[in-house]
Structure 1
């Protein structure tokens, strides 16, 4: 009887469960959606109870889709988005919502903390409102009641582990993304804890990604369709797991991921930070770190374009049972690379790497009467990739030139977007069969933890690849010329961003 492994990926907008064969072939996948609430301008919150239900439902659904028996699932690996923060009482009940990476309430605190460069040099987490450190300082300075009453501060993955197993543990990469974790000692940093006024006993115990939890409550196991003693393995955060799941583990292997947000990352055998604070450096496992930078605006920028520019396409897609995104990209594909001189700064949700500026705002630059909807859509897709390319420049400074380029995430399903990546980077892009690389990375750590595979590096033999996208030299030359202008636009407009952001906050 064949055995399977499940990768559970707790993302920003959904919980995805993917059931794999041990060679990486996808048998079934399931996704349960949930929403983000914005109770005040720039706030971004989620209900952890809803997310737990979605996680259970996605596992249950994928087991049923595969018609798998309980005993066939040998293990479950866990992946999660970074930077979430939940205040809990001593019964592990949430006192606050899950405040996610997109939350911008702590802008002032982050601006002040950023002057303390030693924090970043020790933790590898750029100082930004995304980080739990900035959120905790905001809570302290604003007498946030859940903070004052909290027994523990946890991420969404830790919350699930507490509900399912009653253990307070956190894997190294999720701990690293808090801004409270020292990437050199692999422990909570006492000086930074003092800044946040947080005690060690209010945080989970940092553990390796191969840490195993067992003993699901019977009712939850039955809901999931699993045995109660099925081993759940902590894995990591979605970024390093996407690198692992796509095989980008060696020096020079660079992974680009675009889901709701986006990122470009490279593994390293030692931590590297500098005072420019442009990229992150998170611990993953003993002698393994992940370096790179995230953009706030990946698929969420395309979603905005769909909602604002694609009304007719949405109606047509719904009437025909198709995808509005496919229709929009078909229109964009009719436009030549460079969108007839139209550039788009995709900072619709502020920006993280390499600027770490929560006040950054999006812009179309170069609009003329000749530009139509399809130019704006293509410029939007190009702008997201230009943003990732600018992060790649900062990453290359510390990690070296890319040798292999891999694509993962939802955008890997778009031939046009993949071609834009190949053309802007001027490098072939390797694409796997499954775009759920974070789930496969989590699953591989799980297999490693229970002794089913021998090493992290061995995953390269178990990643079914779909295709390689070759760059078009003429398009690359167009993009390199346009990028010279793109890279100057942020700095030219930066003096105006703060005033605009403040006006917008007052207007809502």
Structure 2
């Protein structure tokens, strides 16, 4: 009887359930999208009930479509977005929506924590930068601005913890998700006592900490029947989407770097001990009992291309529809007509504020170097290059902290479907690039964790076979020098504009508030 694994990724814009055979081959995938709730310029929330339904629906969908029998499912393993926060009452009912990583309402708490509450020391213990994305900053904001709501909360949880609770009745949080909260001490592998004292919390108000290989309690029988699995099917809690993406592209050894560009983006490498940065530029999160992931997240990945397509390229989208082509393919075809460097036109892609490398919610996007000689195709290519230049800036910080140059970059995410963008990354980073044909790296990484949890494998060596065929790109040295020079200008201009970003953001919030 054929056995199957399911990796499920609870993402920011959608939930995906991927059905694999025991050799890591993709059999089928189900996906359900949902809307982010953005009633104000700084609010980014999601309805936890919608995300729970998406988990149930995608699991049920992929199983029923392939007519898989309950006894054929050997495990279900979870990946999830980081930094979400839900306040729940004593009965386990949400008091808030899920406040996502993109929410900026805690921006004022950031300066308070940095200046008045030893923010750098907190970062060095927890590995989570002091930024509005983190649950620590969100909780500090709520404690001070919404004290009645804060006091009403019986527990503070993330979206995966909430979904696991709905499935099993158990409040647990894996150490990977916990290490991205700002409340978890990397060195003690436990909740940080000083942070909890600052927040006036007890450990009983947080989920129980468990290993990323933890097998959850049995699933509710009614839900199991609805989904099409046995209640005793191993539910492996897994880890966060970022660290699992490293596993899913077979990048977990020293000297290997993984880059992901989805809605947002990140660049990461695996180390064998906690490692932080005196300048506070990178994160350090748990992968498993012996591996940690350091790197930097960016807010502005594929979401920037979607903005470009929807707001500036209406005629190109219509052409794509008439030709039966993907609109993003048309965009890259147009960009191919322009030489690297876009004739000196640069795009700073900070449309959603920015985490690494600037770590400010006030960052704003801009075209720099625009002249009458530039046309729409230059702007398209500059946007593609700008997203990569921003990631390259984070890469340089990572190299500085690591003390070594990576030997190879493994890339994944929706961008990796584009041969142009892949080659562009190899040229900008001046490094060999490998891209697996399977794009659902977080789901595959979750199954790797799950396979170890149930005793099927003792290490991650099987991932190389699971990943299978890859696209390989070598940097084109003719273009490397051009990009290196432009990257220096890109970095200098972004630093010069930091003070101006604050003024622009203040003006926007004062005169252009978005009403709820």
Name the counterpart of 1:120.
123
Per-residue CA deviation, residues 249-278 of structure 1 (Å, 9 max, x unaligned), is 100110000001000000000111132000
Task: State the partner residue of 1:485.
Answer: 489
Query: Which structure 2 segments of 5+ residues have no match?
Result: none
For 2:419, the equivalent position in structure 1 comes to 415
Normalised to the residue count of structure 2, the TM-score between the two structures is: 0.96
Aligned to 2:245: 242
Q: In structure 2, the residue corresponding to 1:114 is in which secondary structure? A: helix
SS for the counterpart of 1:396 is helix
Residue 71 of structure 2 corresponds to which residue in structure 1?
71
Of 476, 479, 500, the residue aligned with 1:475 is 479
Q: Distance in 2 between matches of 1:214 and 1:272?
A: 33
Using the alignment, how far apart are the partners of 2:431 and 2:196 within structure 1? Answer: 43
Tell me by how many angstroms 1:320 deviates: 4.8
Contact residue 173 and residue 237 of structure 1 kept, 8 A: yes
Partner of 2:286: 283
Check if 1:339 corresponds to 2:342.
yes
8 Å CA contact retained: 2:407, 2:432 = no
Three-state SS of the structure 2 residue aligned to 1:212 is: coil
Matched length? 508
1:287 deviation in Å?
Answer: 2.3
Contact 1:186 1:283 in 2 (8 A): no
Q: 2:44 is matched with which residue?
A: 44
CA distance in 1, matches of 2:28, 2:114: 44
CA drift of 1:207 comes to 1.0
The residue aligned with 1:373 is 376
Name the residue aligned to 2:433: 429
Residue 20 (structure 1) aligns with: 20
Which residues of 2 match residues 125-136 of structure 1 at below 5 A? 125-136=128-139
- Whole-Å Cα distance in 2 between the matches of residues 282 and 230 of structure 1? 28
What is the deviation of 1:35? Answer: 0.7
Corresponding residue for residue 441 of structure 1: 445
Query: Does 1:221 find its partner at 2:228?
Result: no
Moved more, 311-320 or 488-497: 311-320
* Equivalent of residue 232 in structure 1, options 213, 232, 235: 235
CA contact (8 A) 1:339 1:379 kept: yes
Scaled by the length of structure 1, the TM-score of the pair is 0.98
Contact 2:10 2:16 in 1 (8 A): yes
Structure 1 stretches of 5 or more lacking a match? none
User: Does the Cα contact within 8 Å between 2:9 and 2:442 map onto a contact in 1?
Assistant: yes
Pair 1:456 & 2:460 matched: yes
Partners of 2:379 and 2:257 in 1: how far apart? 29
Higher mean C-alpha deviation, range 321-330 or range 98-107 = 321-330
Q: Indicate the residue corresponding to 1:384 in structure 2.
A: 387
Q: Find the partner of 1:498 among 495, 499, 502.
A: 502
Tell whether 2:83 aligns with 1:83. Answer: yes
Preserved CA contact (<8 Å) 1:309 1:373: no
State the Cα distance separating 1:373 from its structure 2 match: 1.5
Q: CA deviation at 1:407?
A: 0.6
What's the CA shift string for 1:116-169, capped at 9, x where partnerless? 211011000000000000000100111254322111111000000110011111
TM-superposed CA distance for 1:113, in Å, is: 1.4
Q: Which moved more, 1:178-187 or 1:307-316?
A: 307-316
Partner SS, residue 382 of structure 2: helix
- Checking the alignment, whether the CA contact within 8 Å between 1:214 and 1:228 is kept in structure 2 is no
Q: What is the CA deviation profile of residues 338-390 of structure 1, one whole-angstrom value per residue up to 9, with x for unaligned ones?
A: 11111011111111112211111111001111212111111111111111111
In structure 2, C-alpha distance between the alignment counterparts of 1:448 and 1:264, rounded to whole Å: 25
1:103 corresponding residue in structure 2: 103
Partner of 1:153: 156
Q: Does residue 189 of structure 1 match 2:192?
A: yes
Q: Which residue in 1 is equivalent to 2:362?
A: 359
Residue of 322, 325, 334 corresponding to 1:322: 325
The residue number in structure 1 matching 2:470 is 466
How far apart, in 2, do the equivalents of 1:214 and 1:73 lie? 16
The 3-state SS of whatever aligns with 2:15 is: strand
* Secondary structure of the corresponding residue to residue 276 of structure 1: coil
Contact 2:170 2:217 in 1 (8 A): no
CA–CA separation in structure 1 for the residues paired with 2:130 and 2:142? 16
Cα distance, 1:3 vs structure 2:
0.6
Q: State the SS of the aligned residue for 2:275.
A: coil
Contact 2:244–2:287 (Cα < 8 Å) also in 1: no
Q: Alpha-carbon deviations, 1:286-333, whole Å to 9, x = none?
A: 221110000010011111111122111222334455321111111111
Q: Tell me whether 414-423 or 56-65 shows the greater mean CA deviation.
A: 56-65
- Paired with 1:410 and 1:144, the residues of 2 have a C-alpha distance of 41
Shift of the alpha carbon at 1:246?
A: 0.8
